Amino acid sequence: MNFLNKIISRAEELLCGLALSFATTFAFIEVILRRGFGSSLGFTQEAVNYLLIFVGLIGASIGVREKVHLGVDLLVKQFSPNLQKGMILFMYSLNILFCLVVAILGYQHVGVLAQFGNVSPEMEIPMYIPKGIVAIAFTLMTFRYLQELIKAIKTPTEELLAEQEGGAH
């Protein structure tokens, strides 16, 4: 599992970095062409939009992995440590369920788009390619939340609560 985790982590980081680099490069080239030469490549705005959505969604998976998502735990802290751990496990379970549902719906949507043969307006690529990122990203987030749930189950209560506080990472 550790080997798979490393491969997925590296792929997430590499793909986000590449997508952000391409988006920045395309936007820069488009500005130069429009301001300097009064012309346009035509596809860059659409490409930048898709690339930034890609970065945001895959970045959300990285955020789950790095535990940088916002959480409101003021209410949770009012309970006993064991109940707090139970609530944390419950929230991870809800996150898994939500991400799994969105991933499944995303894959179904991609299947429908593939059947109809829709293409994007400017780049004229099949729409299931850019829309498929939702399914992929939420699958990755499901995997990451599942990892966190398993880790939380195995971690002693006091240590888990210290991690949730930001004391250990």
Say how far apart CA 157 and CA 144 lie, in whole Å.
20
Q: List CB contacts of 65: < 8 A, sequence separation 6 or more.
A: 9, 12, 144, 147
- pLDDT for res 168: 47
The residue among 70, 69, 146, 67 whose CA lies nearest residue 103 is 146
Q: Say what the pLDDT of residue 169 is.
A: 45
Nearest of 125, 100, 122 to residue 113 by alpha carbon: 125
pLDDT along the chain (169 residues), means of 10: 90 96 97 94 94 96 88 76 90 96 98 94 95 96 96 90 67
pLDDT 10s digits, 82-110: 898 999 899 999 999 999 999 999 999 99
- Taking the C-alpha atoms of residue 48 and residue 54, their distance in angstroms, rounded to an integer, is 10
What pLDDT, on a 0 to 100 scale, did the predictor assign at position 166? 64
Model confidence, pTM: 0.88
Under DSSP, the state recorded for 37 is I
Give the pLDDT score at 72: 66
The two tokens of residue 143 are 């995997």
